[in-house]
Chains A and B, each alone.
Chain A
């Protein structure tokens, strides 16, 4: 035994020495490069971290398509897409700062753990200078925190919770997508217009973080214009059959049902609600209505004919490329930027892009642009270039990256399920473009602290 103790001591000692040895060289390495993963002269690596399996795999696949397209355009291949319409003209199709854009991909599995593992391997193994992607807020918040620690820039993909740029905002993280608050603020006036100001709403809310913030946002903005909330019930995320949650709605005196659900949840709950005949009901002498705060084309596809006439909001929709007519008869002209994007995406893949694809494409271009304007890959310089940046020609009209919380402010689209869809992609129609001013809020209302930017190394 004594022999063992000795050797163990020996092991501990060598460990301590090794530890000291390990601690030392970091001093040297930090002198070698100013920030994490400084790219060489030939190429620069971006990390595309999207869900390739799990409930949001469809969205992830569409995001990847958009990233490939963005890389093509940055490297000067293809038709250039929205680079031609983008208000900033520093990108010239020679990669980023003369370096060819390369990329690595990973699977987040829509799990924070897997997403972080995948992002870490991109940073530690592949030398990615920027991580982007994600199709759920939990993952976005987790990966954003990781990027803050590691000292790389995170460009969020599809994440709609207020927390991403609210409570959990980080100096190294940026979000182009809109959030729950904006959905509520954009929807409320349209709903008041269509359904009146004395409605009684019943909320079914997915029992997790995004559901809570969405419910809160819709509640606050609808109550502000006179609606009352009868009840708000939380439904398990894993639920596939919502009939037991729909039945109590029939027995309440509510005349509006708000489904704070996303993805497969929304497809199932909406289908159940329609099967129960909710939409044919008359309550308080009013037609019963259903609302889905966050719409996506993929969800509309899943729910099929059930989405007809149902209001919701979305970040971007490909029909902007063709122009449209609002219900009160105003014709909105086609958007050149959206048209350019839909064209190059459609030519490459044969169908129009989703809003997830759009936001990911835009985020990649915005990153490349910020690097070029800052003339540096250092995350702190890039962040400074992005903060307060005002641009146009990316499909959402005039947009600002607010410096205080790294959230983009732009117009929000209120959409409605189309009555007579002409194709499997033509399921939603834009009914109103809510101007950015109407959805802008004070940066401090959600708390949180950006901290300072971390260049790593």
Chain B
């Protein structure tokens, strides 16, 4: 069921690295606090089909249900993307404005694997991660010669370059504007090119990614989708790896880069290998996300690399809480929810909601709300983003912490505060 061949090798690799602070570790090489967060994430991810579908089918509120396969997959895949971005931005403070390029490169690599080798998603996921890593090494090697705004602009330039190339010059490889898709006459060396005149579905050793099991309880309909659970397992592995990186000596070095790179240089340490490693790792995360994306929906379009896509992951990370572990995942979920749910509310639906109001008032209320829904979802997102940046500089995570703080004060308990991840201060960056 899970990605047996891809992730364990990665987790094991990290297992060896951070040997310090062993005393403070409890389970799975994580501190108690981190382990609890990890458990929460596992629970959220595994029970997502229930959590995201709180309203019964056919009720007026069903509009807000997000528990359908496509969106759930997007939640976790963009979660991976944002987690990876956070390793670079949250730890080193290097703001890459071109991370979507790695996502795009990974997507193209993934689709090519499906065109050439097999519809099994494993090669696609592995190769897209690897290719994105190589590309990140190249981009990082050049971009990291500068820091601050110059670094951001360099990465942005690379990403836009990739986008333009993919959109026009590289059309034979990328499919240009139409995007790269599978065809009935693809090679597929280790699989069948076509089944009954259709392109076979992406699968994991025969388990089709779009297969779902539907559970009906009362008025509720819960969908358990194979592709979602594969993505979810990969995301949990990615999350675990990122926690280990955050708590490792390597992570410490990255934080040092963020706090004062000059001082680091004066002490005789060369920061570049560390930042480059962080850049490549986060590029590989993006590639992994790209590979998973095409595994769920085998098409790669150039606009995946457009600068707005790079900006989106920055938004996700900041909205959720940069430098925190769970923040980027929350931010990714939040933005994808807005994009997919709020954008689909149209005027007719508003009229259904407010039909009970007197006519004039109904129209007035709808006129008030209308600019914020449907095509206006960008506006809503922008306002939310401003509110978060102004009132919760630490992102949604800070909001959560404040709420939790209220309860703690009431209880007046002096629990293990010192072990909480020092997330909020970093996030103010």
Contacts and interface: CB of A to CB of B under 8 A. Distances in A.
Given A1-B15, A142-B299, A171 B226 contact: no
Contact of B375 (A19, A26, A57, A116): A57
A145 B229 contact: no
A112 B198 contact: no
Interface string B374-415: 110110000000000000000000000000000000000000
Contacts of A208: 167-168, 176-177
Given A57-B375, A451-B198, A117 B74 contact: yes
Size class of the contact patch on chain B: 35 or more
Interface stretch (B85-93, B210-218, B250-258, B281-289): B210-218
A168 interface: yes
A281 B344 CA distance: 51
Which secondary structure dominates chain B's binding surface? mixed
A193 interface: no
Interface in A71-124: 104-107, 111-114, 116-118, 120-121, 124
B344 A163 contact: no
A241 B212 CA distance: 50
B344 A121 contact: yes
A293 interface: no
- Residue among B1, B198, B226, B301 with most chain A CB within 10 A: B1
Contacts of A136: 177
A234 B169 CA distance: 10
Given A52-B375, A208-B167, A3 B27 contact: yes
A83 to B, nearest CB: 21
Contacts of A8: 8
Contacts of A7: 28
Interface in B63-84: 65, 68-71, 74
Interface stretch (B121-129, B179-187, B356-364): B179-187
A198 interface: no
Which secondary structure dominates chain A's binding surface? helix
B378 A53 contact: yes
A17 B167 CA distance: 43
A12 interface: yes
Given A105-B344, A149-B199, A120 B303 contact: no
B171 interface: yes
Nearest to B179: A112
Given A1-B29, A53-B375, A137-B178, A207 B167 contact: yes
A117 B301 CA distance: 12
B340 interface: yes
B426 interface: no
B346 interface: yes
Contacts of A194: none
Contact of B344 (A23, A111, A118, A124): A118
Top 10 A-B residue pairs of the complex, sorted by shortest distance between their CB atoms = A19-B1, A452-B197, A15-B1, A52-B375, A112-B301, A208-B177, A120-B70, A125-B68, A138-B177, A207-B168
9 contacts: A15-B2, A18-B1, A111-B303, A112-B179, A121-B344, A146-B297, A149-B198, A168-B181, A208-B168
Interface of A: 1, 3-4, 7-8, 11-12, 15-23, 25-26, 29, 52-53, 57, 104-107, 111-114, 116-118, 120-121, 124-125, 136-138, 141-142, 145-146, 148-150, 161, 163, 168, 171, 207-210, 234, 236-237, 449, 451-452, 454
Given A125-B68, A208-B167, 9 more contacts: A1-B29, A20-B1, A52-B375, A53-B378, A121-B71, A138-B176, A168-B181, A209-B171, A209-B176
